[in-house]
Amino acid sequence: GNSVTQMEGPVTLSEEAFLTINCTYTATGYPSLFWYVQYPGEGLQLLLKATKADDKGSNKGFEATYRKETTSFHLEKGSVQVSDSAVYFCALSETYNQGGKLIFGQGTELSVKP
């Protein structure tokens, strides 16, 4: 079945460092890909998305490119801030007869130190 694998955390960076969180997926068909962020004690917020191969999703300085050839959707940011500390989830869409759902990776915790 479809699945998402993320790099394990926690990832600890200093402020203004470059961030990469790796995400690879296994899927039949052509799913949409998403990054969600979860701040402590909160629900998930949609960070960015890409709906087809070679699409680049971007938001708040974060970027991810849908790479079909490597089945990857790595999250990057050029300069992280303390406020970026959160858990990041990569997800893919799976449609089925009369419905659609998200399949998530296990999450990667990011901690940014001043």
Partner 1 sequence: DAGVTQSPTHLIKTRGQQVTLRCSPISGHKSVSWYQQVLGQGPQFIFQYYEKEERGRGNFPDRFSARQFPNYSSELNVNALLLGDSALYLCASSRGVSETEQYFGPGTRLTVT
SS3 9: coil
N- to C-terminal Cα separation, the chain: 41
Pick 36 or 84: Cβ nearer partner 1: 36
User: Minimum Å distance from CB 34 to partner 1?
Assistant: 8
Q: Which parts of 3-62 interact with partner 1 (CB under 8 A)?
A: 4, 32, 34, 36, 42-46, 49
Task: Confirm or reject binding of residue 95 to partner 1 (CB under 8 A).
Answer: yes
User: Considering the complex, what minimum distance in angstroms separates the CB of residue 17 from partner 1?
Assistant: 24
Distance separating alpha carbons of residues 113 and 48, to the nearest angstrom = 24
Of 9 and 17, the one with the shorter C-beta distance to partner 1 is: 9
Contacts of 62 (CB under 8 A, 6+ apart): 35, 47, 48, 75, 76, 77
CA 30 to each of CA 51, 56, 104, 109: distance values in angstroms, whole numbers, following the listed order: 8, 15, 16, 27
Among the listed residues 19, 107, 110, 112, the single contact to partner 1 using CB under 8 A? 107
Residues that bind partner 1 (CB under 8 A): 4, 32, 34, 36, 42-46, 49, 89, 91, 93-96, 98-107
